[in-house]
Homo-oligomer: A and B are copies of this chain.
Amino acid sequence: MCVGLDTDLDKIPRHLLDSEDPVFEFNRQIIDATHEYAVAYKPNIAFYEALGPRGWESLAKTLEYIPKNIFTIADAKRGDIGNTSKLYAKAFFETMDFDSITVAPYMGEDSVKPFLEFDNKWVILLAHTSNVGSADFQLIIDERDHRPLYEHVIIKSREWATTDQLMFVVGATRADKVERIREIAPENFFLVPGVGAQGGSLEEVSKYGLNSECGLLVNSSRGIIYVSQHENFAKEASKEAAKIQQEMARLLDQYT
In the complex, the chain B residue whose C-beta lies closest to that of A143 is B143
Q: Output the least CB separation between A200 and chain B (Å).
A: 12
- As a 0/1 sequence over residues 80 to 115 of chain A, the CB contacts with chain B under 8 angstroms (1 = contact) are 111011011011001110000000111111111000
Confirm or deny: A135 has a beta carbon within 8 angstroms of a beta carbon on chain B. Answer: yes
Indicate with 1 or 0, residue by residue over A205-223, a CB within 8 angstroms of chain B CB atoms: 0000000000000000000
Q: Which of A129, A140, A198 has the most CB of B within 10 A?
A: A140
Q: Mask for A52-84, Cβ within 8 A of B = 1, else 0? A: 111011001000000000000001011111101
How many chain A residues sit at the interface, stated as a range, is: 35 or more
Contacts of A198 in B (CB 8 A): 81
Residues of A within 8 A of B (CB): 6, 8, 44, 46-47, 49-54, 56-57, 60, 75, 77-82, 84-85, 87-88, 90-91, 94-96, 104-112, 126, 129-138, 140-144, 146, 149, 152-153, 156, 198
